[in-house]
Amino acid sequence: MSNLIGIVNYGIAGNIHSIKKAIEKAGGKVLIIDKKEDLKKVDKIVIPGVGSFNDAMNELKKDDLMETLIEEIEEKPTLGICLGMQILSTLGFEYGKTKGLSKIDAEVKPILVDAKVPHMGFNKINVIKTNKLLSGLENEEFYFMHSYEVVNYTNIVSLTDYVGHNFVSSIQRDNIYGVQFHPEKSREAGIKLFKNFVEL
């Protein structure tokens, strides 16, 4: 079976080049997705994202990717990274209320802590439900950079502690995975995560 991984390139997709390089280093073949037809050609989907929930959803609509993406996510192993994980939720509360892709029953809200936000830098994940994506990475540190968190109770795979506040750092529902951190900035642990994704 071909194992082509599509990285969705929409207005605020962020560091696509680093993600592409990291996936290739992990042994994957990559297609950058610029139009909805490309989504049909790939075996797996990666949704990156840097910026605001509201902008992300508007860009997906503007680039005419939204409807096809919603369909294809159900069929194919999909990985949302950072904002890409957040938009898998039902609702986002960044600059008003925005409907997400509704793949995970969750809401995206500001991180409320008595400390510096955004939460930035390397931090450990605490895996509470093992899955294939995080296999062998149970005690690793990954690179985070975010001011919002996914509030979810049913699909949690790992939590991360930031100044005594536990937030959801990865999720899974069936073939849909999300990580709040940036594997492409997380050195060897990140490459291993992409390798696990390639091998799903």
Catalytic residue annotation: 82, 182, 184
Phi and psi dihedrals of 121, rounded to 5? 110, -175
170 CB neighbour count, 10 Å cutoff = 29
List of E strands, the chain: 4-8, 29-33, 44-47, 78-81, 91-92, 98-99, 107-110, 119-124, 126-127, 141-146, 148-151, 156-162, 165-173, 176-179
Q: How far apart are CA 37 and CA 159, in angstroms?
A: 36
CA atoms of 197 and 13, how far apart (whole Å): 19
